[in-house]
Chain A
């Protein structure tokens, strides 16, 4: 499972990348594989205020709809427009072209709450033993 070291993670399988006060958000390879065949994405609106741990987007695959949670609180500063016409890029490049949206982070402390790559990797191991 590919879990890039330079990103932060949530237990709900989103990744986050920080550039100054801006946080870029996507879903992990694990999530992408679980969801499979993404056919539709509902992204948040530009300027929308979103809250850490609350649903911020919806991914629909052939089998079902899945909520995507905000890793940090803040204002949506950018949305990946190409997901509308080509949602399949989430399956192809979940850490690259398949990013979802950017957040202008409200509280710096939110960032410190996120999991490191190693912590997320441990979390995945725990999840898999649960089943």
Chain B
């Protein structure tokens, strides 16, 4: 029995570019066009174009919009400047991840929210449950498309697309609204880059226009995963889920305890004071095996955790992974083992992110 999968809006465009398709959640997506390794390098050294239209978009408007989001989310939405976006966990009452999202503040009465594709229905329901008066919530996911342009040449590419917008002045996590959507200096690759949201009806045209720049190549979901793993950017459903909290996931900085109220504040504050028992760590393989999601992590021969993301790092020429381990064996340089096809393979805990881009500015 195969689950129902949906093609992306630009499926034909991907076919034209020779994409090989795979399944990501309930979507049929381009895995790669030429090779994951080539596409990975294309983004690290030049620029790549990603179709991420499977992702969800909400709009929150109304007089109470800011206070509503400031309560729903652990980060400080009131202090967020206009024209700026931020990354935030969306938490359940137990402090576990419902999702991780990006919030864009157009004004204190108008926000865009971008959520993970697989969580659109669940997130929308959770947003709705917490809705208070004076706030209007709409799901724009069926109407909006999203393209990401990432890599050292990304700025050059978007400047050609939108010569009048002065996008070089956009700071990291800054955004500006355009007809039908917005352009933000955000991404999921560890490189400089932009994400462009527009009406789906404009998507084919924008996709074609992007390729007027010969330096730009299409990039599939295969390289999207290797790029984000090197940058140790978490993937929902892998590195976090409803049962782990931001303190364990290593993003405690997203919890603003100076706020008197937000969903799961008290329970998380208590956990913080008592100390967490497990923690997300990054590791590199010392032996030759390649770690994959679900492989057991061993300490002194005993299973203590599981790999949540793992694979090859094309940039670092190493095999790397993320996973949760007990706090007492989570120190940098600690030796662990990964069980690869019934054989324990030596690995070492190392700092994350694995990859830092060189700042050119």
Chain A residues close to B by CB (< 8 Å): 36-37, 39-40, 42, 58, 60-65
Contacts and interface: CB of A to CB of B under 8 A. Distances in A.
26 contacts: A36-B32, A36-B35, A36-B36, A37-B35, A37-B36, A37-B37, A39-B290, A39-B312, A40-B288, A40-B290, A42-B341, A58-B341, A60-B290, A61-B36, A62-B37, A62-B40, A62-B226, A62-B311, A62-B312, A62-B314, A63-B22, A63-B31, A63-B222, A63-B311, A64-B292, A65-B341
Looking at A40, A62, A64, A65, the one whose CB has the most chain B CB atoms below 10 A away is A62
Interface in B1-57: 20, 22, 31-32, 35-37, 40
Interface residues of B, number: 17
Interface in B316-361: 341
Contacts of A62: 36-37, 40, 222, 226, 311-312, 314
Nearest to B37: A37
A93 to B, nearest CB: 16
A63 B36 contact: yes
A39 B310 CA distance: 14
Nearest to B225: A63
Nearest to B317: A39
Nearest to B288: A40
A58 to B, nearest CB: 7
Given A36-B32, A58-B341, A65 B37 contact: no
Contacts of A40: 288, 290
A68 to B, nearest CB: 13
Nearest to B38: A37
A63 B40 CA distance: 12
Contacts of A64: 292
Contacts of B292: 64-65
Contacts of A39: 290, 312
A65 to B, nearest CB: 7
Q: Please give me the 6 A-B residue pairs with the lowest Cβ-Cβ distance, nearest first.
A: A62-B36, A37-B37, A60-B290, A62-B312, A37-B36, A39-B312
B105 to A, nearest CB: 37
B43 to A, nearest CB: 14
Interface in B50-68: none
A84 B264 CA distance: 50
B184 to A, nearest CB: 28
A42 B341 CA distance: 11
Nearest to A91: B35
A60 B291 CA distance: 11
Contacts of B40: 62
A58 B312 CA distance: 16
Contacts of B31: 63
A61 B36 CA distance: 9
Contacts of B288: 40
B292 to A, nearest CB: 7
Contacts of B37: 37, 62
A117 B35 CA distance: 27
Contact of A65 (B32, B226, B290, B314): B290
